[in-house]
Amino acid sequence: MSCAVATPDAEVSTLHLAWNEARDALLEHRVDIAVTRLPLRTDRLHVTPLHEEPRVLLVAAGHRLAGARSATLADIADEPMLRSTDPEWDAFWRVDPRPDGRPAPDGPLPGGAAADRFEAVAEGRAVAIVPASTWGPVQRPDLTTVPLRDVAPGQTVLVTRAGEQNPLVARFGAIAVDVLVPPGPAEVIGSER
């Protein structure tokens, strides 16, 4: 179902945002709705969970864990992990601190582009924990993923500005939830400030 079916005169366009742009793009009115991943500061936003997805370990094809059926955080306890400039995002995607209280080992802090991050892993300078879906069907032959057994899944969410009054935004959001949420109840998180 598309928004045009529900509202034939509505114009819908997409804008691809970097991993850390959704909040600012919404609050600056560059977009009205964003589909993004948590963690995300939710004050002044309305957040609807869409689905969870496994987090996997991204390693170079020649890494000692490449080809393993699965791995645990203990298996990568001393592996340098790619870092991020956002502290909350960094802590979540590096699982820092680890359940035993140890910090995740620091790795490089590559540029923001995914290609730069993938290159650092391919060169063997670090490993990374990534959403399983980001590694879909088109893979680089020098990189592979390994399922992580003891890492909670990540969450994909639909986000709008809190208190949004535009009925088209509400209608489009409802359609997006219908299309993107697996069967089961959706839960609203975040604040309405």
Residue of 191, 157, 128, 129 whose CA lies nearest to 38:
157
| CA 30 – CA 32 distance, rounded (Å) | 7
Say if 187 falls within a structural domain: no
| CA 162 – CA 184 distance, rounded (Å) | 24
| CA 69 – CA 7 distance, rounded (Å) | 47
Q: Is residue 22 located within the same domain as residue 76?
A: no
Q: How confident is the model at residue 191 (pLDDT cuts 50, 70, 90)?
A: very low
Give the per-residue pLDDT at 3: 45
Q: Is residue 11 located within the same domain as residue 62?
A: no
Q: Is residue 29 located within the same domain as residue 84?
A: no
Most confident option among 6-20, 28-42, 101-115: 28-42
For residue 191, which phi and psi values (nearest 5 degrees)?
-110, 165
Say if 193 falls within a structural domain: no
| CA 189 – CA 98 distance, rounded (Å) | 25
Give the per-residue pLDDT at 117: 84
Q: Is residue 28 located within the same domain as residue 94?
A: no
Q: For the domain that residue 171 is a member of, what is the CATH number? A: 3.40.190.10
Q: How confident is the model at residue 172 (pLDDT cuts 50, 70, 90)?
A: confident
Residue of 146, 133, 147, 137 whose CA lies nearest to 59:
146
Q: Is residue 78 located within the same domain as residue 139?
A: yes
Q: Is residue 114 located within the same domain as residue 59?
A: yes
Q: What is the mean pLDDT of residues 81-88?
A: 92
Q: Is residue 60 located within the same domain as residue 143?
A: yes
Pairing of strands 143-147, 34-37: unpaired
Q: Is residue 158 located within the same domain as residue 143?
A: no
For residue 129, which phi and psi values (nearest 5 degrees)?
-100, 125
Give the per-residue pLDDT at 49: 92
Q: Is residue 43 located within the same domain as residue 68?
A: no
Q: What is the mean pLDDT of residues 62-91?
A: 95
Q: Is residue 92 located within the same domain as residue 40?
A: no
Q: How confident is the model at residue 152 (pLDDT cuts 50, 70, 90)?
A: very high
Q: Is the pLDDT of residue 47 over 90?
A: yes
Q: How confident is the model at residue 98 (pLDDT cuts 50, 70, 90)?
A: very high
**Could you give the number of structural domains in the chain?**
2
Residue with tokens 């697996």: 182
Q: Is residue 66 located within the same domain as residue 124?
A: yes
**Distance between the two ends of the chain, CA-based, in angstroms?**
31
Higher pLDDT, 17 or 68: 68
Average per-residue pLDDT in the chain?
A: 87
Q: What is the mean pLDDT of residues 130-134?
A: 88
Q: What pLDDT, in 10s, does the model give residues 9-35?
A: 778 888 898 888 999 999 999 999 999
Q: Is residue 80 located within the same domain as residue 9?
A: no
Residue 21 structural domain = 3-50+154-180
